Amino acid sequence: MGAFDTLFQWAFLVPLFPLVGFVIVGFFGDRMKKAEYGGWVAVVLSGLAMFVGILIAIGEALSPGTYTDASYTWLNLPGTQSVFSNGFSLVMGTLVDPISALMLVVVNVVGFLVMLYSIAYMHHDQGLPRYYAELSLFLVAMNGLVLSDNLLEFFLFWELVGVCSYFLIGFYYEKPSAASAAKEAFLVTRVGDVLFLLGIFLYFATYATSGGGAGWAASGFKFTNGNTPFLGSLVGSASSPTLTIAGLMMLAGAAGKSAQFPLDVWLPDAMEGPTTVSALIHAATMVAAGVYLLVVVSLFLGFTADDRLAIVAVGGFTTIWAASMALVNTDIKRVVAYSTISQLGYMVLAVGAGFAMVGLYHLFTHAFFKALLFLAAGSVIHAVGTQDLLKMGGLRKSMRVTWIAFFVGAMSLSGIPPFAGFWSKDDVLASVYSQVGAHPLYWPFLLCAFATVFLTAYYIFRAWFLAFDGDGSRDASLPHAHEAPWAMRLPLIVLSGLALVAGLFAFVPSFANLLPGAGVPPTYGTTDLMLSATSVGLGFGGLGLAYLMWGNGRVFTLPADSPLQPFRTVLLRRYYVKDAYDWFGLKAVYGLSRAADFVDQYVIDGTVRGIERAFSQLSDAGRRLQTGVVSDYAAYVVSGLVGLLVFLLWIAPWLVRSVGGG
């Protein structure tokens, strides 16, 4: 019993408040006198959720522990001969522990700020009630996911956040590109999801039969048993091909949700949704769910060494893969989106190297500075009505707050001290470095991560210079920009503050309890300082290069005949991966379907029709039967029945008796 158990048992309120918001706004939002009223209802309810979430986090910080409340037996499944011999129940409940408390803070603080920001940002949009209903539903699902106490419940909410993301990417559903992006996001993550489901089967089956697992199955596959992981004794020690595959399936699920290579294509396209949605779902929370899954699995179920290498490889490679595509993009939102993929790669890398808490640390700081970058970008888009960086320019004069906010976000993203991103990114690099001695195969991926620091600073400051520097818009047709209204400025200011100090929270004694275990806060020995110096140097290098190429002075530009230009095309075409996927979906699978349809109609059904034709040509009676008069068919039906009855009552028994001797 922890000191705050009475508080923790109210954790269900966190998803419940937005659920109330969803019901009110979803069903009655259209009938309210003004569309904003529904919005305000949702804002207030998400504020309440944030309040409870923060209280829970404070409780966990003061007295860390695990509180579970297993309340509802969702499915009571019968046993089978093979694996689940005794049958098992799937029980849905809430799990409050330090990491879920941390996530509650992230989700609900960003959620509330985005909801508030949206009041102004979405002001002119049709379908405001729909927007707030879907956003509230997302918060329900995301909070449910964070509070899940078993893998299946986790999966359930995981799919629900996915479908909310689908709705919100396609919010402007009359735009073909938005409808297409929504579908793409759902489908690509779906690939990860079905593999995730397979992974769940594998864990269930493996642990349900092995030594300490029987109790686990009986518990409904809960993550924890009291204060310890249920499979505590098995984590790390168990190793079998099945477990390795199960871990890889978790990685596949995480890669889909967190847009890791090769399932990363959907996230840049998801920028078709409103910018607020990008900030909340596609930067701070939902895409981080994949990382959170890896954290949860590594804490409670355990990865094998091979899994870890695969995770490190995917994360490390994704950092540079996505960052490279951000180098040339001219859409302000897409640049930030690529940076999200890249930063998620850092988190995955850390979790893979065995430092789940370090990954979570970066998740925490990233949520704030990335939401800040998106909301600042949204403020810019709101003001100038375009997302094209090449058309903007000179906004620093008219949009002071946004200008500074974007700067804070960019510094934080680039990992420049003392901004939040520095502490966590530095910790990621240092932790992975500490493992390369034991695992030399981690080296190339660590180098990717280091190189990405340079690229990151370059592309984000390129965007900053392009948008805010210069004498004025490069495209004269853009409207005269004005600073955003207070409902947008306030979240920017709050998030700027968080992007400054969030990294330091880990050094506050109580708060550090939310990130228990290895590597947080960083220790800063000599090696660490050297690594920090390197990464900060790389960051400043990127910043400097961006200044030279895109800043006021424009010291140099890439000549049009530079040998680097072909790479530019490749990067803009996103390495042709999306083209390949489109080809696979539209040409290969759809083509196969068309071919199968032909076979179905002309071979399978054709055979049937051929038989039918043969019959009707064989006998005139057959043709006369098809008179097309319904009463004739009725007579046919009835006579068939009578015939059957005759057969049944007299002929069949006789037949059977004479054949079978009955």
Partner 1 sequence: MVPILSILLLTLLGGTVLTFASGKQARWVALGTSIVFLFETFYLLDAYTAWPGRAGLYAVPQYSFSESYAWISLPWLHINYTVGVDGISLILILLTAFLQIATVVYCWTETNRPAAWFGLVLLTCLGSIGVFIALDILLFFLFWEATLIPMFFMIGYWGGPKRRYAALKFFVYTHVASIVMLVALLAVAFYAHAASFDFADIFVATHSPGFPIVTQALLFLALFFGFGVKFPIVPFHTWLPDAHVEAPTGGSVLLAGLLLKLGGYGLIRWAVEVLPQGLAHTSWIVYAVAFASIVWGSVLSLSQRDLKRMVAYSSINHMGIVLLAIAVYSSLGLLAAVLLMFAHGVVSGLLFMASGSVHHSFGTRDIASLHGITPKAPVLATMIMVGSLASLGLPALISFPAEFAALLATWDRLGYWVVVPLLILVVTAGFYLWMMQRVLFGPPQNVPEKAHDLDVYETAGMAILVALIILYGVLPGFLVNVIVNSPVYGFP
Within residues 70-109, the interface with partner 1 by CB under 8 A covers 73-84, 87
And the tokens for 551?
């800043």
Residues 496-555 that bind partner 1 (CB under 8 A): none
In angstroms, what is the minimal distance from the CB of 590 to partner 1? 6
Task: Decide whether 237 or 627 has the Cβ nearer to partner 1.
Answer: 627
In angstroms, what is the minimal distance from the CB of 148 to partner 1? 12
Task: Decide whether 82 or 526 has the Cβ nearer to partner 1.
Answer: 82
Among 529, 555, 580, 592, binds partner 1 (CB under 8 A): 592
Q: Yes or no: say if 558 and 564 are a contact pair by the CB < 8 Å rule.
A: yes
Among 19, 147, 195, 358, binds partner 1 (CB under 8 A): 195
Q: Which stretch binds partner 1 (CB under 8 A): 345-353, 363-371, 565-573, 587-595?
A: 587-595
User: Chain centroid to CA 172: how far?
Assistant: 20
Tokens 């910790």 correspond to what residue?
427
Distances in Å between the Cα of 333 and the Cα atoms of 266, 276, 368, 402, 450 are 14, 11, 16, 15, 24
Q: Which residues of 96-126 are buried (b: 16+ CB within 10 A; e: fewer)?
A: bbbbbbbbbbbbbbbbbbbbbbbbbbbeeee
Among 1, 476, 560, 608, binds partner 1 (CB under 8 A): 608
Q: Which stretch binds partner 1 (CB under 8 A): 257-265, 369-377, 401-409, 648-656?
A: 648-656
In angstroms, what is the minimal distance from the CB of 250 to partner 1? 15
Task: Decide whether 29 or 64 has the Cβ nearer to partner 1.
Answer: 29
Q: Which stretch binds partner 1 (CB under 8 A): 154-162, 312-320, 458-466, 546-554?
A: 154-162
The number of C-alpha atoms within 13 Å of 272 and in the hemisphere containing its C-beta is: 24
Tokens 């490279």 correspond to what residue?
324
Q: Yes or no: say if 243 and 206 are a contact pair by the CB < 8 Å rule.
A: yes
Residues 446-485 that bind partner 1 (CB under 8 A): none
Task: Decide whether 180 or 239 has the Cβ nearer to partner 1.
Answer: 180
Reference 474, options 330, 328, 326; nearest CA is 330
Please spell the DSSP secondary structure of 305-365, one letter per residue: HHHHHHHHHHHHHHHHHHHHHHTT--BHHHHHHHHHHHHHHHHHHHHHTT-HHHHHHHHHH
Among 437, 440, 559, 662, binds partner 1 (CB under 8 A): 662
Q: How far apart are CA 382 and CA 279, in angstroms?
A: 14
In angstroms, what is the minimal distance from the CB of 182 to partner 1? 8
Q: Yes or no: say if 315 and 356 are a contact pair by the CB < 8 Å rule.
A: no
Cis amide leading into 18 (omega within 30) = no
Task: Decide whether 62 or 592 has the Cβ nearer to partner 1.
Answer: 592
In angstroms, what is the minimal distance from the CB of 471 to partner 1? 38
Our finding on whether 588 is near partner 1 (CB under 8 A) is no
In angstroms, what is the minimal distance from the CB of 102 to partner 1? 25
And the tokens for 381?
């888009």
Task: Decide whether 509 or 660 has the Cβ nearer to partner 1.
Answer: 660
Residues 196-235 that bind partner 1 (CB under 8 A): 197-198, 201, 204-205
In angstroms, what is the minimal distance from the CB of 169 to partner 1? 11
Q: Yes or no: say if 2 and 96 are a contact pair by the CB < 8 Å rule.
A: no
Task: Decide whether 191 or 494 has the Cβ nearer to partner 1.
Answer: 191
Among 385, 597, 613, 646, binds partner 1 (CB under 8 A): 597
Reference 108, options 86, 80, 136; nearest CA is 136
224: helix, strand or coil: strand
Our finding on whether 652 is near partner 1 (CB under 8 A) is yes
Residues 233-272 that bind partner 1 (CB under 8 A): none
Among 132, 155, 368, 450, binds partner 1 (CB under 8 A): 155
Residues 361-420 that bind partner 1 (CB under 8 A): none
* Cα 368–Cα 369–Cα 370 angle in degrees, nearest 5: 95
Task: Decide whether 517 or 653 has the Cβ nearer to partner 1.
Answer: 653
Task: Decide whether 176 or 559 has the Cβ nearer to partner 1.
Answer: 176
Among 23, 530, 555, 656, binds partner 1 (CB under 8 A): 656
In angstroms, what is the minimal distance from the CB of 598 to partner 1? 9
Question: Where does 121-196 show beta strands of DSSP type E?
Answer: none
User: Chain centroid to CA 3: how far?
Assistant: 34
Among 23, 604, 635, 642, binds partner 1 (CB under 8 A): 604
The binding track of 159-188 with respect to partner 1, each residue x by CB under 8 A or -, is: xx--x------x--xxxx-xxx-xx--xx-
Among 635, 641, 642, 646, binds partner 1 (CB under 8 A): 641
Tokens 């924890």 correspond to what residue?
224
Contacts (Cβ under 8 Å, ≥6 apart) of 608:
none
Helix H or strand E encompassing 93: strand 88-96
Kindly give the interhelix angle for 241-257 and 151-169, rounded to the nearest 10 degrees: 30
Task: Decide whether 163 or 577 has the Cβ nearer to partner 1.
Answer: 163
Q: Yes or no: say if 181 and 170 are a contact pair by the CB < 8 Å rule.
A: yes
Q: Which stretch binds partner 1 (CB under 8 A): 319-327, 344-352, 429-437, 633-641?
A: 633-641
Our finding on whether 640 is near partner 1 (CB under 8 A) is yes
Reference 464, options 344, 383, 384, 380; nearest CA is 380
Our finding on whether 653 is near partner 1 (CB under 8 A) is yes
C-beta neighbour count of 390 within 10 angstroms: 11
Q: Which stretch binds partner 1 (CB under 8 A): 106-114, 229-237, 568-576, 588-596?
A: 588-596
Among 20, 32, 58, 156, binds partner 1 (CB under 8 A): 156
The binding track of 54-73 with respect to partner 1, each residue x by CB under 8 A or -, is: -------------------x
Q: Yes or no: say if 396 and 468 are a contact pair by the CB < 8 Å rule.
A: yes
Our finding on whether 660 is near partner 1 (CB under 8 A) is yes
Count, residues near partner 1 per rule CB under 8 A: 71
Q: Which stretch binds partner 1 (CB under 8 A): 31-39, 158-166, 301-309, 499-507?
A: 158-166
Reference 626, options 610, 615, 611; nearest CA is 615
Q: How far apart are CA 8 and CA 28, in angstroms?
A: 32
Helix H or strand E encompassing 131: helix 128-147
Task: Decide whether 555 or 656 has the Cβ nearer to partner 1.
Answer: 656
Helix H or strand E encompassing 414: helix 400-414
Among 475, 579, 582, 605, binds partner 1 (CB under 8 A): 605
